[in-house]
């Protein structure tokens, strides 16, 4: 995409200043310069300035001051109204945000519009509704012999200062997942977007100001993961980290968080199974498998990267998959006809190329994926492999690129053993008209959410998160809110004083 394809509003924003938002003030970053590339054109869109670690300290202090000040005192109705105003502003500017997202990330404009105009504002609206429904309980504690002597209460309080560290993919959606529940809970937030694609976060910071967010309630700092991200994870002034990204970084955050035992929620990698039984419409389900494996050019944690196909339909399925995938259009993400935009960076493209080479070397059969790609831009053709042994690297590791492993099965139990023989446990789906079989299989997959004849449905009401090394905790739904609340128990003597 050339800069000319951008609307004047998006271009003006991208080329403007991307200061840090600290305590309600725009502050010039004093850290490193970070050039932001358009992965489709390989040109530099703009350069942002990272925060220094001292500026991170200021942001954390501003968040703490907000909790003790205006933001902490705001009543729950006004907090909900603020989140609703913010949601409306995201909706108002969804077209601009989608353009920015496509420019910095390379994802097709159509899917950027879905994230910016639908998922993200829906999350803010959903959590706006929770602000005045955060309640505790009353109960009869047994203290000593006489139950009548005491009354117990619980109240739910904001967990405190939250550090939100998000990845480059679908950042308006990631902000919905991190900011909406934490702000609804009454926490104050320091947000660090990914250094590869920080511009949507910069835009959200501006909208939070416009919505009337009190100073320090939301602070936005830019910077590299190894410096500012790591400093957040180990920061004594941060009470909780909410993170989405790779499993390796998630583990580093857990270690760094041990210093002050801050709470941690993690949404990490996946290797999601897509399990197809013979009683399905083979052509239609093959197309759906492709769309869920190649979503965002495969750069999605829930991507259906392991497709288990029953032997009875395997060959027909693979043929349909190949025919469909060969016709997918890889190219300019601003073109409405494009199915897959580029990968986010040259490094990511190289990584994916390494996996494709490993699959060939290990003896998998490439059904498609060798066709040429545009010379400029980090493009990769969607690749389908069959004859994949579950022990191969492409079947075991998270690739974050458009590479599908098709694994043949005939025995349900052995298939399930293979499905679960992975360190990941994020998501998955089962495709069959036989409801008993669907539920039996769904129950036995070790993952946080399973679709039956649907893959990766994202709704604000549906809890989402990973088992095993795919994460800690849940996002979306009431569960997502609870991650930002702490319970205080109060016991009141109501009988005779001692
Ligand atoms: P991805 O593979 O999606 O880029 P990463 O896990 O590498 O995921 O990065 C996700 C986010 O984590 C980014 O904002 C990045 O800057 C940040 N990050 C990277 N390394 C660290 C670290 N050691 N500590 C904290 N945050 C980090």
Q: Tokens 């053709």 label which residue?
A: 381
The answer to whether 429 touches 330, Cβ cutoff 8 Å, is: no
At 386 the three-state DSSP class reads strand
Residues with Cβ within 8 Å of 85's Cβ and at least 6 positions away in sequence, in order, are: 211, 212
CA–CA distance, 282 with 259 (Å, rounded to integer): 53
Domain count across the chain:
2
**How far is it, in rounded angstroms, from Cα 357 to Cα 372?**
16
Shared domain check, 17 and 117: yes
326 and 220 co-located in one domain? no
Stretch (H or E) spanning 189: strand 188-192
**pLDDT tens, N- to C-terminus, the chain (498 residues):** 443 479 999 999 999 999 999 999 999 999 999 999 999 999 999 999 999 999 999 999 999 999 999 999 999 999 999 999 999 999 999 999 999 999 999 999 999 999 999 999 999 999 999 999 999 999 999 887 776 789 999 999 999 999 999 999 999 999 999 999 999 999 999 999 999 999 999 999 999 999 999 999 999 999 999 999 999 999 999 999 999 999 999 999 999 999 999 999 999 999 999 999 999 999 999 999 999 999 999 999 999 999 999 999 999 999 999 999 999 999 999 999 999 999 999 999 999 999 999 999 999 999 999 999 999 999 999 999 999 999 999 999 999 999 999 999 999 999 999 999 999 999 999 999 999 999 999 999 999 999 999 998 899 999 999 999 999 999 999 999 999 999 999 999 998 777
**Domain presence at residue 498:** no
Which 3 state secondary structure label does DSSP give 306? strand
Whether residues 220 and 298 share a domain: the answer is no
Is 111 inside any structural domain?
yes
Residue 386 forms beta bridges with which residues?
A: 365
Give this prediction's pTM: 0.97
Does residue 465 lie in a domain region?
no
Sign of the alpha-carbon torsion through 60, 65, 67, 68: positive
Are 104 and 197 in contact by the 8 Å Cβ rule? The answer is: yes
The pLDDT, as a whole number, for residue 4 is 44
- Verify whether ligand 1 is closer than 6 Å to residue 223 (CB atom): no
Distance CA 267, CA 433 (A): 31
Do the domain assignments include residue 185?
yes
- Alpha carbons 40 and 378: distance in angstroms, whole number: 6
CATH (domain of 360): 3.40.309.10
Assign 449 to helix, strand or coil: strand
- What is the Cα–Cα distance from 117 to 128, expressed in whole angstroms? 17
Same domain, 224 and 281: no
Domain assignment present for residue 491? The answer is no
* Co-location of 305 and 235 in the same domain: no
Q: How many Å lie between the centroid of ligand 1 and the Cα of residue 471? A: 14
Note whether 346 and 198 are same-domain residues: no
| Residue tagged active-site, from 267, 398, 475, 483 | 267
- Determine whether 267 is an active site residue: yes
**Same domain assignment for residues 8 and 140:** yes
| Residue 343 burial (CB count, 10 A) | 28
Task: Give the distance (Å) from ligand 1 centre to CA of residue 301.
Answer: 14
User: Is the beta carbon of 268 within 6 A of some atom in ligand 1?
Assistant: no
Give the C-alpha separation, 382 to 341, whole Å. 11
| Cα angle: 136, vertex 479, 192; to 5 degrees | 110
Residues 186 and 93 placed together within one structural domain of the fold: yes
- What are φ and ψ of residue 104, in 5° steps? -90, -20
Distance CA 253, CA 161 (A): 16
Q: Could you give the maximum distance between any two Cα atoms of the chain, in Å?
A: 84
pLDDT at 2: 44
198, 232, 241, 245, best to mutate for ligand 1 pocket (most atoms within 8 Å of CB): 245
* pLDDT at residue 147, as a whole number: 65
Are 259 and 331 in a shared domain? no
State which ligand 1 atom lies nearest to the alpha carbon of 195.
16
Q: Is residue 480 part of a domain?
A: yes
In this structure, the answer to whether residues 263 and 280 fall within a common structural domain is no
Q: State whether the Cα torsion 333-338-343-346 is positive or negative.
A: negative
Site of tokens 């504002």: 121
Distance, CA of 64 to CA of 61 (rounded, Å): 5
Q: What's the chain's Rg over C-alpha atoms?
A: 24
The response to whether residue 301 sits with its C-beta less than 6 Å from ligand 1 reads no
Domain holding 257: CATH number?
Answer: 3.40.605.10
With helix as H, strand as E and coil as C, how does 72-103 read? Answer: HHCCHHHHHHHHHHHHHHHHHCHHHHHHHHHH
Which residues form the domain of 80? 3-268+472-486
What contacts 316, CB < 8 A, 6 or more positions away?
Answer: 282
Give just the sign of the alpha carbon dihedral 292, 294, 300, 305.
Answer: positive
The beta strand positions in 95-158, using DSSP E, are 138-139, 150-158
- Domain identity same for 170 and 296: no
Q: Verify whether ligand 1 is closer than 6 Å to residue 226 (CB atom).
A: yes
Mutation pick for ligand 1 pocket among 164, 229, 302 (CB with most ligand atoms within 8 Å): 229
* pLDDT attached to residue 495: 83
* Among protein residues, the one whose CA lies closest to atom 21 of ligand 1: 225
496 falls within a domain: no
Q: How far is the CA of 114 from the centre of ligand 1 (A)?
A: 24
Instruction: Give whole-number Cα distances, 427 to 344, 367, 463, in Å.
Output: 23, 25, 11
Question: What separation in Å is there between the alpha carbon of 156 and the centre of ligand 1?
Answer: 30
Q: Which of 374, 336, 346 is nearest to 5 (CA)?
A: 336
DSSP state of 117: I
On whether residue 493 sits in a domain, the answer given is no
Length of the chain equals: 498
How many whole angstroms from 427 Cα to the centroid of ligand 1? 21
- Please report how many Cα atoms fall inside a 13 Å half-sphere around the Cα of residue 104, on the Cβ side: 33
Q: What is the DSSP letter of 429?
A: E
Specify whether 131 is located in the same domain as 150.
yes
């Amino acid at each position: 995409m050339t800069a000319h394809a951008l609307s004047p509003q998006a271009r003006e924003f991208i080329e403007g200043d991307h200061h840090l938002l600290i305590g309600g003030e725009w502050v010039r970053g004093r850290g490193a310069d970070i050039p932001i590339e358009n992965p489709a054109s390989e040109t530099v869109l703009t350069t942002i300035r990272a925060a220094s670690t001292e500026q991170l300290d200021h942001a954390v202090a501003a968040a703490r001051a907000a909790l003790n000040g205006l933001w902490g005192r705001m009543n729950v109705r006004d907090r909900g109204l603020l989140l609703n105003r913010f949601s409306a502003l995201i909706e108002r500017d969804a077209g601009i945000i989608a353009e920015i997202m496509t420019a910095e990330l390379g994802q097709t404009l159509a899917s950027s519009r879905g994230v910016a105009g639908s998922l993200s504002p829906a999350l803010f609206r959903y959590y706006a509704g929770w602000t005045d429904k955060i309640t505790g309980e009353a109960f009869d504690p047994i203290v000593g012999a006489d139950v009548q002597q005491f009354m117990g209460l619980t109240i739910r309080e904001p967990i405190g200062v939250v550090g939100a560290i998000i990845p480059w993919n679908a950042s308006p959606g990631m902000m919905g997942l991190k900011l909406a529940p934490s702000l609804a809970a009454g926490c104050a937030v320091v947000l660090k977007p990914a250094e590869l694609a920080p511009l949507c976060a910069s835009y959200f910071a501006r909208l939070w100001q416009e919505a009337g967010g009190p100073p320090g309630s939301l602070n936005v700092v830019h910077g590299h993961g190894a410096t500012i991200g790591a400093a957040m994870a180990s920061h004594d002034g941060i009470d909780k980290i909410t993170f989405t990204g790779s499993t390796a970084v998630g583990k580093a955050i857990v270690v760094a968080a041990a210093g002050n035992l801050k709470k941690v929620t993690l949404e990490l990698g996946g290797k999601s199974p897509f399990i197809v039984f013979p009683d399905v419409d083979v052509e239609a389900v093959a197309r759906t498998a492709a769309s869920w494996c190649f979503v965002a050019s495969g750069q999605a944690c829930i991507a259906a990267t392991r497709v288990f196909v029953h032997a009875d339909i395997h060959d027909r399925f693979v043929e349909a998959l190949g025919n469909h995938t060969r016709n997918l259009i890889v190219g300019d993400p601003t073109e409405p006809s494009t199915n897959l935009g580029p990968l986010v960076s040259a490094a990511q493209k190289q990584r994916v190329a390494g996996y494709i080479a490993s699959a060939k070397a290990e003896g998998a059969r490439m059904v498609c994926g060798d066709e040429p790609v545009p010379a400029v831009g980090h493009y990769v053709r969607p690749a389908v492999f069959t004859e994949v042994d579950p022990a191969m690297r492409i079947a075991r590791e998270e690739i974050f690129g458009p590479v599908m492993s098709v694994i043949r099965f005939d025995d349900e139990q052995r298939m399930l053993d293979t499905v679960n023989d992975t360190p990941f446990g994020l998501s998955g789906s089962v495709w069959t008209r036989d409801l008993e079989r669907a539920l039996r299989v769904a129950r036995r997959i070790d993952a946080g959410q399973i679709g039956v004849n649907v893959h990766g449905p994202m709704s604000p009401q549906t809890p989402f998160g990973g088992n095993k090394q795919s994460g800690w905790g849940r996002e979306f739904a009431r569960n997502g809110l609870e991650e930002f609340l702490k319970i205080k128990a109060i016991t009141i003597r109501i009988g005779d004083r001692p």
